Amino acid sequence: MSPRPRSAMILGAGLGTRMRPLTDDRPKPLVELAGRALIDRTLAKLQRVGVLRVVVNVHYRADQLEAHLAGRKYPDVLISNERAGLLDTGGGVGRALDLLGAGPFFIHNCDTFWVDGEAGAEDTLERMVALWDPDRMDSLLLLADPATSIGYDGPGDFICGADGRLSRGRAEGSDGDCDGAAMVFAGVSIADRRLFDDAPGNAYSLNVLWDRAIAAGRLFGLGHQGTWMHIGSPAALAEAERILQGEAWR
């Protein structure tokens, strides 16, 4: 059995430009979705799948985010300081590797949220853990159907083959699973530390490492079964709140 991820990186250092004016006085992770900060919702999802340690990188209004996270007992939260300059997604995780410890780990955007299909459906992160295979994979990405996603209007990021392997390019249509169709990255992945071997220095995107893993046949995807929401703008936040309104599980 593959080792479970027991640590996670939450990407919390961004400027939140598209979320203005809500981010004029707070970092995006502290924007509330249906009365609860985005980062608290993310931590709750990670806690449910047994994550014990979470690293959060900080930059914009870093003091506010640190104060919000101070004193949490479970999961244990550590801070990766990017006050001196943003390192992009890959560079941010690369700096935090020593804090994340040994073994695989989740990488989680703060502006991603989803509903796990019908009531009683298997937890999405648990589905990722069950599929994770470090012998075949350097990283496993959660994917969503762009046609049914909230807050996303692009054509998709990857082509997901029948075996789950990812490639770049475009294809027509999707049924929300790995069927050779175009899918959008849904903001959470599992990574092996080897993904960062010989990584570029300083600031760089995770896309650099994903493209390298694609070339090696070691980047995989899992199709999400439910509604995925990119909470990247006030309009997307309002739409997500309309979906969540009245739901007991929120």
DSSP state of 91: H
**Alpha-carbon radius of gyration of the chain:** 17
> 88 in helix, strand or coil?
helix
Asked whether the predicted pLDDT for residue 246 surpasses 70, the reply is no
Per residue in 20-71, pLDDT (tens digit) is 998 999 999 999 988 889 999 999 999 999 999 999 999 999 999 999 999 7
Pairing of strands 166-167, 219-223: unpaired
Cβ count within 10 A of residue 48: 11
- Per-residue model confidence (pLDDT) at position 21: 93
- Per-residue confidence (pLDDT) for residue 121, from 0 to 100: 61
Max Cα distance, the chain (Å): 48
- For residue 138, the model assigns a pLDDT of 97
CB 10 within 8 A of CB 108: yes
Q: Are 102 and 15 in contact (CB under 8 A)?
A: no
Q: Does the structure show a pLDDT above 70 at 248?
A: no
Give CA 149 to chain center in angstroms.
Answer: 15
Dig out the tokens for 190 from the structure.
Answer: 């599992």
Residue 86 has pLDDT above 70, yes or no: yes
pLDDT at residue 218, as a whole number: 97
On whether the pTM is more than 0.75, the answer is yes
- Which is more confidently placed, 180 or 200? 200
Q: What pLDDT is attached to residue 175?
A: 44
Give 7-244's CATH code, choosing from 3.30.870.10, 3.40.50.360, 3.40.50.300, 3.90.550.10: 3.90.550.10
Q: How far apart are CA 15 and CA 93, in angstroms?
A: 17
- Positive or negative CA dihedral for 222, 148, 181, 9? negative
Q: Where are the domains of the chain?
A: 7-244
The pair of structure tokens assigned to 209 is 């490492």
Q: Taking 50 as the threshold, does the pLDDT of residue 172 lie above it?
A: no
Please enumerate, as own/partner, the contacts of 196-200 that have beta carbons within 8 Å and a separation of 24 or more.
196/90, 196/93, 196/94, 196/97, 199/90, 199/94, 200/90, 200/91
Which helix (H) or strand (E) segment is 209 a member of?
helix 206-215
Q: What is the β-pairing status of strands 76-81 and 53-58?
A: parallel
Which residues neighbour 70 within 8 Å (Cβ) at sequence distance 6 or greater? none
For residue range 109-165, list pLDDT tens digits in order.
Answer: 999 988 876 544 678 999 999 999 999 999 999 998 888 888 887 778 899 888 899
Measured CA distances, 110 to 126, 196, 227 (Å): 19, 21, 17
pLDDT in tens, 188-242: 999 999 999 999 888 999 999 999 999 999 999 998 887 888 998 998 898 888 8
* Residue in this structure with the two tokens 């509604």, named with its chain if needed: 227
